[in-house]
Amino acid sequence: MSNDKHSTETILASGLGFMDEQHLGVIPGIFPSTTYERSADNSYEHGKIYTRDHNPNYEQPEQVLAALEKGHSAMLFSSGMSAATCVFMALKPGDHAVVPKVIYWSFRNWLLNFATDWGIETTFVDNGDLDALRAAIRPGQTKLLWIETPANPTWQIEDIGAWAEIAHSIGARLAVDNTIATPLLCNPITLGADIVMHSATKYLNGHSDVLAGALICKTDDQHWQKMRSIRAAGGAVLGPFEAWLLMRGMRTLAVRVKQASANALAFAQAMEQLPQVAEVLYPGLVSFKGHKLAAKQMHGGFGGMLSIRIKGGENAAIKVAANLQLIKRATSLGGVESLVEHRASVEGPDTPCPVDLLRISIGIEHVDDLIADMQRALET
């Protein structure tokens, strides 16, 4: 089945036409074998040696992701963190990277506490400040720029095209964490990015039952091949069943993201009207600082993630979360269920996240029920 003749929705629902060829099942089977037999001539006729690098269950989701992100090829990883860190591990000691201050906290923590062990130094700049980015560049040493847009948990928008232009002008690569937008709403490679990362645990899987990550490349270059070798050598791969579950979740990505985006916009607009809410952070709101840029580089919606800042500060925010009944108090995001989290409590004293902020992952429940749940919690 050709990738370029079908819409995103069709690519997802059809899974690029993969089938169980032996039994003609419309869904491929699960292949748990860890090793593969050599041919009589001592070759590996089908190209598979060991499941740490090759497994039939990786092929379908990787090909679907490459098609969705309009890239050359994709790799699955055991988690979003293993995918993200692999990009930095493929750099050389002494290389330098520039990253915005507000990104996924666990990855920011890894950059601060572990990347230096690899001889890689990272400079953090204010989100949306291209002048600060230019000032942070070290000619001949800066090899990677990394952005997350929208940025978790305040949802600032970075100009992907501008970051890409700056990266390429100094011979560096741009990597984009596209977890929140998903391939349904943004395609960073078409805007100039070289690498796209996903925490596939989130929207791609969409059911809070698989831990996974993915990288997609624009070009199959030396850096990409080094990352492939790092994945194989370190064994940071999914099990066959998890890869199969991921693909099952991806088949409904289009309908889930569209519903979550519509719900999030309606929820955000309702929150703006409530007297207990100091601020609503959501790229789909006209009042949001980065709305125009988000509308320019996102298409079909603004995603299912938003944050609200509660009048009364940290204690008030924590009490509001405690009063919720339908929206569950739990970490992570991107599932069919709605979740809320007081991020400052999770991230600790060094967090750039405001202490009055509640991060909300809007699911696919009826939005009126979600709004009513939050109204009750705020009034209580």
Question: CA–CA separation, 183 vs 201, rounded Å?
Answer: 14
Q: Within 13 Å of residue 135, how many CA atoms lie on the same side as its CB?
A: 7
Residues belonging to the active site: 52, 104, 177, 202
Q: What are the helix (H) ranges across the chain?
A: 8-14, 56-68, 80-89, 105-113, 130-136, 160-169, 182-185, 222-234, 240-250, 253-271, 291-297, 313-323, 343-347, 367-379
Q: Please report where in the chains the tokens 């400052």 appear, as a residue.
A: 344
Specify the length of the chain in residues.
380
Distances (CA, A) of 136 to 100, 112, 147, 166: 11, 16, 14, 11
Question: CA–CA separation, 337 vs 83, rounded Å?
Answer: 25
Closest CA to 215 of 101, 61, 96: 61
Contact in structure between 94 and 141 (CB atoms under 8 Å): yes
